[in-house]
Structure 1
Amino acid sequence: MKLQTFTMLTILFFLLALTAYLDSPFSFVNNDYSYMTSEQAVAQPVDVEQPLKLPVLEQRLDNVERIDGYIVETYQEYEVFYDKDGKVIKRNPTSKMETVKYWDN
């Protein structure tokens, strides 16, 4: 009984060691895919074209009111389109409005 347990544990240890070796970068399976820190990585830069005419969302102050000792600021969100030189082509208001309320001294 003890011999059978010892044999099973030895086989289990051998399989675990073999699995660890095959998973390591030093195994013959990963020989073509692993790199050492002394080797330089070969990577080519990728040119990514910027999409044309995508809007940039901006918030602009629309209104300032004093109500019951508070200052209430209303901001409107706009879609802003720019050309290649950074000049504004058009500005479209969206339906999103935000208000900020803070106490007036």
Structure 2
Amino acid sequence: MRLSKGISIACLLLLLFSTAYLDEQTMRMIPVSTFPEMQDTSLEVNSEQANNLHMELEYKLINIDAIDGYQVETYREYEIYTDIRGEIIKEVPTNNLDYIRYKLK
């Protein structure tokens, strides 16, 4: 009985470590294509305009690649400045990128 309990624990540990190893092997760095240099991000407004501006963060699709049997979508975060009428005054790209990966059939 004691031997079978030890074997069960050893098998469970082996399964746990092999799963962690396989997960690590499937997680690779995804190459990112180069992006144009960030433009000047200063927003010149007077104090009255500043009180009426609204800033929201939004991710926009900027690239789609096929890498190692996966479709990889790259999104960049933008600061979107709008006035009180909802018109976009300025869009400022940030350094934040997000990736979504889909298995290709």
TM-score (norm 1): 0.49
The higher-RCO structure (CA 8 Å, 6+ apart) is: 2
Structure with a larger share of its residues in helix: 2
Structure whose CA Rg is larger: 1
TM-score (norm 2): 0.49
